[in-house]
């Protein structure tokens, strides 16, 4: 397999590359059709005449829609690849990024959302204009957000999605990218926020179900949590790259602190002060002032539904430690 757009060329062939049975392809096609169908159904059935209807789905979302949508906009292919991959490399500490979220979700539900809702805004740049006056901050933030979303969020999600499609079906990366962007673009632009939330709810269900199934199969395969504990630290890669053959064992053996979340501030790869304070600061931006999540909170029926949505998403965010991070670690044992 080659990844020419990374400037990396390897002949590494992933474990699942022989997924090309008719049933697998049928499932994927059905899934794509289902997403498109939900998008089209929303386009045809919901009115989108006003700003509130288009951007906030008429402010009529129930708590389970808000929670599922928050979760689905946060978790994506980048999580399934990034979390699991980092877990395989360095253990459970990366799961702290997930377990930090419930606290910040409470902050957005109880402190930030009421302020935004009271201010009667639809977007974050609009809030800053109301708060500080003038148009320069609003303009700057709008441009900054566009830049950040395109180069930071969307490109990562689309890239990992395309890599996944390539691994599983052998599809061309550029073709997949264009197809994903077109499908998403069509139902987002024409269906408005309601279409996004309805497809998000489907995605959240599929991701929770899929990752929990994966977890069950992974733990069954490896023989349980005790086996994971005792085998992970001894896994050695079956091929140690030529460039590394003189390398010290630290370079290819798992870290001794793999099963610790709070790691040494000097020698840890994810030092605990960063886990406690660093992630919280990033997450404060990410969950509380980020248009993606704020918009979902603003679209709630009333404050009870907004808070309920945040709580639901907080509970769902406890899952990835078990359903994504640990299967990633198990993959290192099963496929050394
Ligand atoms: C919000 O709406 C629900 C019904 O959907 C109602 O039971 C609840 O009391 C409302 N909460 C507030 C704060 O108005």
Instruction: Write the pLDDT tens digit of every residue in 301-317.
Output: 999 999 999 999 999 99
Please work out whether the CB of residue 117 comes within 6 Å of at least one atom of ligand 1: no
Mutation pick for ligand 1 pocket among 66, 299, 302 (CB with most ligand atoms within 8 Å): 302
pLDDT at 169: 77
Q: What is the CA radius of gyration of the chain?
A: 21
Distance 92 CA to ligand 1 centre (A): 39
Residue 331 DSSP one-character state: H
- Residue 244 CA to residue 251 CA, distance in Å, equals 8
Report the candidate in 179, 2, 61, 104 with the shortest Cα–Cα distance to residue 96. 104
Distance 299 CA to ligand 1 centre (A): 14
Residues in the chain: 336
Task: Kindly report the average pLDDT of the chain as a whole number.
Answer: 86
Query: What percent of the chain has a predicted confidence (pLDDT) above 70?
Result: 92
Q: How confident is the model at residue 2 (pLDDT cuts 50, 70, 90)?
A: very low
pLDDT at 242: 63
pLDDT at 5: 44
Task: Say how many CA atoms lie within 13 Å of 317 toward its Cβ.
Answer: 27
Q: First and final CA of the chain: distance in angstroms?
A: 18
The atom number, within ligand 1, closest to the CA of 62 reads 5
Distance 9 CA to ligand 1 centre (A): 56
pLDDT at 9: 41
Distance 284 CA to ligand 1 centre (A): 27
Sign of CA dihedral 44, 50, 54, 57: negative
Q: What angle do CA 12, 78, 181 make, to 5 degrees?
A: 100
Q: How confident is the model at residue 331 (pLDDT cuts 50, 70, 90)?
A: very high
The atom number, within ligand 1, closest to the CA of 303 reads 13
Task: Tell me which of 116 and 242 has the higher pLDDT.
Answer: 116
Please work out whether the CB of residue 303 comes within 6 Å of at least one atom of ligand 1: yes
pLDDT at 102: 94
Q: Is pLDDT at 16 greater than 60 in this prediction?
A: no
Q: Give the highest mean pLDDT range of 3-7, 159-163, 294-298.
A: 294-298
Distance 301 CA to ligand 1 centre (A): 8
Atom 2 of ligand 1, nearest CA residue: 302
Distances in whole angstroms, Cα of residue 292 to Cα of each of 57, 253, 269, 305: 14, 39, 30, 18
Atom 9 of ligand 1, nearest CA residue: 304
Note the pTM of the prediction, 2 decimals: 0.87
Residue 134 DSSP one-character state: S
């Amino acid at each position: 397999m080659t990844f020419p757009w990374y400037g990396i060329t390897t002949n590494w062939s992933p474990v699942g590359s022989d997924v090309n049975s008719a049933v697998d392809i049928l499932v994927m096609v059905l899934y794509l059709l289902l997403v498109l169908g939900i998008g089209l159904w929303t386009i045809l059935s919901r009115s989108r005449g006003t700003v509130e209807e288009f951007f906030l789905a008429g402010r009529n979302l129930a708590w389970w829609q808000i929670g599922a949508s928050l979760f689905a906009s946060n978790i994506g292919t980048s999580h399934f690849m990034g979390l699991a991959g980092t877990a395989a490399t360095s253990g459970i500490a990366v799961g702290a990024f997930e377990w930090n979220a419930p606290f910040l979700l409470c902050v957005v539900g109880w402190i930030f959302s009421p302020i935004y809702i009271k201010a009667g805004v639809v977007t974050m740049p609009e809030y800053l204009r109301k708060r500080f006056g003038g148009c320069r901050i609003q303009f700057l933030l709008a441009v900054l957000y566009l830049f950040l979303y395109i180069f930071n969020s969307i490109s990562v999600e689309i890239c990992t999605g395309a890599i996944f499609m390539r691994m599983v079906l052998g599809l061309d990366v550029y073709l997949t990218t264009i197809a994903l962007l077109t499908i998403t673009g069509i139902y987002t632009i024409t269906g408005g926020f309601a279409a996004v939330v309805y497809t998000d709810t489907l995605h959240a269900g599929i991701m929770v179900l899929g990752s929990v199934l994966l977890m069950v199969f992974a733990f069954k395969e490896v023989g349980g949590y005790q086996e994971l504990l005792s085998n992970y630290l001894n896994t050695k890669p079956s091929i140690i790259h030529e460039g590394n053959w003189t390398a010290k064992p630290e370079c290819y053996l798992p870290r001794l602190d793999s099963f610790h979340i709070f790691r040494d501030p000097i020698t840890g790869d994810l030092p605990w002060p960063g886990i406690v304070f660093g992630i919280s600061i990033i997450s404060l931006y990410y969950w509380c002032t980020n248009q993606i999540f704020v918009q979902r909170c603003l679209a709630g029926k009333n404050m009870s539904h907004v808070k309920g949505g945040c709580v639901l998403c907080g509970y769902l965010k406890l899952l990835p430690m078990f359903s994504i991070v640990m299967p990633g670690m198990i993959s290192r044992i099963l496929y050394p």
